[in-house]
Structure 1
Amino acid sequence: MNSPKKVTAQGQFEKLDYPFQMHEVSVVSDMIMAYADEGTSNKEVVLFIHGLGSYAPAWKYNIKELSKSFRCIVVDLVGYGKSSKGQYEADMTFHANNLFALMKSLNISKFNIAGHSMGGQIAMHMAINRPQQIKGLVLLAPAGIETFNDQHKTLLINASTPEAIASISDEQYKANLALNFYKKDDKSDFMYTDRMLIKSDPQFKEYCYVVSKGVEGMLNEPVFKNLDAIVCPTLIIYGLQDQLIPNRYLHPELTTEKIGLLAKKNISNASLEFVDKAGHFVNFDQPETVNKLISNFLNN
């Protein structure tokens, strides 16, 4: 395994142009986490955690508005974006420990979390293991509610090796990216452009390794059986046209609505919202609606 690297945020995937200023802090084992700190310090704090293969800019249409009312801490998970690169295990515990270390370095002991997809599973993992630190959860199309048997786990892990991720063609990546949205338009073109820049970076292989370990980590550190340990107020949001949750090939009998209702049933203090004309990237497809839902939830 590669040893952690001491790096500067702007030196990581340096060709990527971010919509907000990124800072950096040393977290566990001297790894560097890049983060934005938007809004005013005396406001309610929200930690924003991106999903698998994503990065901090995926929140740009949310942070622009929500930072007017909240202090928004927007991260690149270690292994992603402008944070340290390396052959890290990158499971849920790994990410959670680094995020708690980040918040400790900012002298923030209690906070809310907004997590998208894998970021939602990380958020639930954090709330289950350190409930005293989490004030509220906003779970946007969260992974971790849909469960997989051992055969499915093996299939998914084998299909998500670092080599398989690295070998995806540009055309296939564009098609895969489009599946995240209700309607692909110019607004999300920057994600494809950034992927091409990442692919040309010397650290691309390390990035693929971390993405692969993210898939493995979600499957090997499930949260579903422990959802009753989440005691904080929780808002669950799914796009009605989510094409990724549930997995249509492995669970053709399930729907997004069934997954959402399952989450609400098993998290005691939860509310559930479905957003129309929104896919897996519900916060990107319908930012105004999602921003309003988040604001109302955090202000109650």
Structure 2
Amino acid sequence: MIAFDALGHGRSDHPKEINLSKNLRYDIIRDLEDLLKHLGVNSHIGIIGHSLVGGMIGQLFVMKHPEDIKFLILLNSGYIIIDNVIRNIFYNLLPYFIRMNFLDVIKNSIEEILDKTIPFIITALSDTLGGIKLTKDQLFMKIEEQIFNMINEINEYDPSHINCPTLIIGGRLDNFAPEIMSEELHKKIPNSILEIIDMAGHFAPAQRSDTINDLISEFIRNLK
């Protein structure tokens, strides 16, 4: 087993310079590819990804290297990738009812949502804005651009190309990646199994570790 802390997470490096619009997924996937190459791991790879970023990196990696993948496990994940500063802050500001029905809500309410969230995004960025040479209008445009790009990516994202055995585990009490996201992934990923864990939130692997470990072990044992 290889435990991989992506760039900006855990004990891996945390970039000192803030790039508001850089999507870290490409750097993270490259780092994962380099790590596997360094360790001589090139086939029969099992990927386990947690949360929105970890789960989406897992999905994207599997679609990029389908011939090398044995299985995929998604824990408290979904179809939204929040891999840059603006997207991350924006998503964290959204109340639970919007996260539950993200695409349906934003179809008719995106301008209102932006009006209410952008001032808070700017406030959250205030400590880092000193080195960013943007006018207030330019910053507003940058934030809007990133959020609209995120929405377009979600609308266009198609995980049906994931063809390896996939286990999807969600938490019944998860208010960050609500269980409906796991259910939607299950509908779209052909060869997938869905498990929703009662009395578990976004950190189900820690909150219900025995249950999660049993599900993962059974899933791997049953692989052909």
Task: Please state which band the TM-score falls in when normalised by the shorter chain.
Answer: 0.5 to 0.7
Alignment pair present for 1:164 and 2:124: yes
Do 1:139 and 1:237's aligned partners in 2 also have CA atoms closer than 8 Å? yes
Describe the SS at the equivalent of 2:211: helix
Structure 1 residue 285 displacement after superposition: 0.8
In the alignment, what sits opposite 2:92? none
In the alignment, what sits opposite 1:56? none
Do 1:112 and 1:134's aligned partners in 2 also have CA atoms closer than 8 Å? yes
**What is the CA deviation profile of residues 249-268 of structure 1, one whole-angstrom value per residue up to 9, with x for unaligned ones?**
xxxxxxx2x33322111000
The answer to which structure has the higher helix fraction is: 2
Alignment pair present for 1:105 and 2:65: no
Q: Which amino acid aligns with 2:186?
A: K
Alignment pair present for 1:243 and 2:175: yes
**CA distance in 1: counterparts of 2:184 and 2:150, whole angstroms:** 18
Alpha carbons of structure 1 residues 221 and 84: separation in structure 2 relative to 1, 3 Å: farther
In the alignment, what sits opposite 1:115? 49
Describe the SS at the equivalent of 2:72: strand
Q: TM-score, normalised by structure 1?
A: 0.50
In the alignment, what sits opposite 1:278? 200
Describe the SS at the equivalent of 2:176: coil
**What is the CA deviation profile of residues 143-200 of structure 1, one whole-angstrom value per residue up to 9, with x for unaligned ones?**
3167545838x84984785861687xxxxxxxxxxxxxxxxxxxxxxxxxxxxxxxxx
Alignment of 1:167-178 (within 5 A): none
Q: Which amino acid aligns with 1:121?
A: M
Q: Which amino acid aligns with 2:174?
A: D
**CA distance in 2: counterparts of 1:102 and 1:218, whole angstroms:** 28
Do 2:78 and 2:185's aligned partners in 1 also have CA atoms closer than 8 Å? no
Alignment pair present for 1:94 and 2:27: yes
In the alignment, what sits opposite 2:2? 73
Q: Which amino acid aligns with 2:75?
A: L
Describe the SS at the equivalent of 1:73: coil
Q: TM-score, normalised by structure 2?
A: 0.65
**CA distance in 2: counterparts of 1:294 and 1:223, whole angstroms:** 30
Alpha carbons of structure 1 residues 225 and 237: separation in structure 2 relative to 1, 3 Å: same
Structure 1 residue 293 displacement after superposition: 0.6
Structure 1 residue 115 displacement after superposition: 0.6
Q: Which amino acid aligns with 1:229?
A: H
Q: Which amino acid aligns with 1:236?
A: I
Alpha carbons of structure 1 residues 268 and 245: separation in structure 2 relative to 1, 3 Å: same
Alignment of 1:142-161 (within 5 A): 142-144=77-79, 148=103, 149=106, 151=110, 155=114, 158=118
Alignment pair present for 1:136 and 2:96: no
Alpha carbons of structure 1 residues 231 and 222: separation in structure 2 relative to 1, 3 Å: same
**What is the CA deviation profile of residues 189-236 of structure 1, one whole-angstrom value per residue up to 9, with x for unaligned ones?**
xxxxxxxxxxxxxxxx9xxxxxx9xx9796675487321110100000
**CA distance in 2: counterparts of 1:130 and 1:157, whole angstroms:** 37
Alpha carbons of structure 1 residues 136 and 84: separation in structure 2 relative to 1, 3 Å: same
**CA distance in 2: counterparts of 1:237 and 1:107, whole angstroms:** 29
Between the two proteins, what is the percent identity of the paired residues?
32
What is the total number of aligned residue pairs between the two structures? 173
Structure 1 residue 75 displacement after superposition: 1.6
**CA distance in 2: counterparts of 1:234 and 1:289, whole angstroms:** 17
Which of 196, 213, 216 aligns to 1:291? It is 213
Structure 1 residue 74 displacement after superposition: 0.7
Do 1:121 and 1:144's aligned partners in 2 also have CA atoms closer than 8 Å? yes
Which of 149, 157, 177 aligns to 1:225? It is 157
Aligned-pair Cα RMSD in Å: 3.3
**What is the CA deviation profile of residues 64-118 of structure 1, one whole-angstrom value per residue up to 9, with x for unaligned ones?**
xxxxxxxx21122112333233236343222112111111111101211111112
Q: Which amino acid aligns with 1:120?
A: G
Alignment pair present for 1:83 and 2:12: yes
In the alignment, what sits opposite 1:11? none
Gaps of 5+ in 1: 1-71, 168-204, 206-211, 247-255
In the alignment, what sits opposite 1:170? none
Alpha carbons of structure 1 residues 93 and 140: separation in structure 2 relative to 1, 3 Å: same
